[in-house]
Structure 1
């Protein structure tokens, strides 16, 4: 089971989700997407959004949900919550359920939470929905769309490169043949002195 929350502090709204327990979170770890950012809870970034520019109110919503859903963290004030892109999560067989480390610790950031803000937690809890998603199928569909998008981008890049090459070849040809018309048979005959009348030299002098 996965719990989904809607955060309306940004527009369009963002979706935050979390597994029912650490075992459910194992599936979220395994089948996360490239545009997921996670702490204990996950937020799926919207198109054009990166983990570098997540709005501060949305970070606060995620941090408050993380605190509220942590048995230990919910009892304490002045805690620090870390978050990172899903792709930075590192998991091996020796770790307990729900436990992770990171590939790159420089890609881990911190959010300071002074205390639980009930008005934030209550607002989010009103949007809570329980679902049983097929995370594997969602991941496979995401990867298919990504592959199609990547292929389309490559095709567009090749088309642009081909167009630029054609324009370059055309310009190159024009430069190489810029004076061709000056040496046509018609132009050469018109400048030939053999057809001048006998007074040509007198006119020249």
Structure 2
């Protein structure tokens, strides 16, 4: 099960999504798209939240409002991170995620730590979280199939 959210309208037509649990996150890690940017609360357990950029866009093209939507969603979906103020959210392109066989389910590292950015989130903003939750849709996509269609693999 993957949860999909619509970003703030003024940001443009962007989809934000996250897995139901660590097993779903494992699939999202494995079958991401080159346009995906991964978000997570730093040094705490949290949901893996992804932002799908438009083709040709890079991490530098993400607006402040769009970053705030993703960071608030990650914070709200972290048991520990949701309870405290002044947390850091890390984000990086999906292609920078590194998964080895020795890692726990849902755990990732990075190929290049210089590609990881950090955003400070002072507090939860319920107005943003509630707006995103009103757009929430649950789907069960075939991530492997969608990934191979995107990359042209068979």
TM-score w.r.t. length of structure 1: 0.69
Q: Which residue of 1 aligns with 2:22?
A: 22
2:109 to 90, 93, 101: 101
CA apart distance, 1:11: 4.5
Question: Structure 2: which 5+ runs fail to align?
Answer: 40-47
1:143 to 140, 146, 151: 151
CA apart distance, 1:144: 1.4
Relative contact order: is structure 1 or structure 2 higher (C-alpha 8 Å, sep ≥ 6)?
A: 2
CA apart distance, 1:38: 0.3
- In proportion to residue count, which structure has more strand? 2
Number of aligned residue pairs: 145
Pairing 1:151-162 to 2, within 5 Å after superposition: none
Q: Which residue of 1 aligns with 2:36?
A: 36
Hey, which bits of structure 1, 4+ residues long, moved more than 6 A? none
Q: Which residue of 1 aligns with 2:70?
A: 62
Partner secondary structure for residue 34 of structure 2: coil
2-structure distance, mates of 1:15, 1:75? 26
Question: Structure 1: which 5+ runs fail to align?
Answer: 146-205
In the alignment, structure 1 residue 111 sits paired with structure 2 residue 106: no
- In proportion to residue count, which structure has more helix? 1
Q: Which has the larger radius of gyration?
A: 1
Partner secondary structure for residue 16 of structure 2: strand
Per-residue CA distance 1:133-189 (angstroms, 9 max, x = gap): 0000100100119xxxxxxxxxxxxxxxxxxxxxxxxxxxxxxxxxxxxxxxxxxxx
1-structure distance, mates of 2:11, 2:72? 19
Per-residue CA distance 1:16-67 (angstroms, 9 max, x = gap): 0000011100000000011100012000001332111211100000000000
Q: CA RMSD in A?
A: 1.2
Q: Which residue of 2 aligns with 1:45?
A: 53
Per-residue CA distance 1:2-24 (angstroms, 9 max, x = gap): 00000024443210000001110
In the alignment, structure 1 residue 12 sits paired with structure 2 residue 5: no
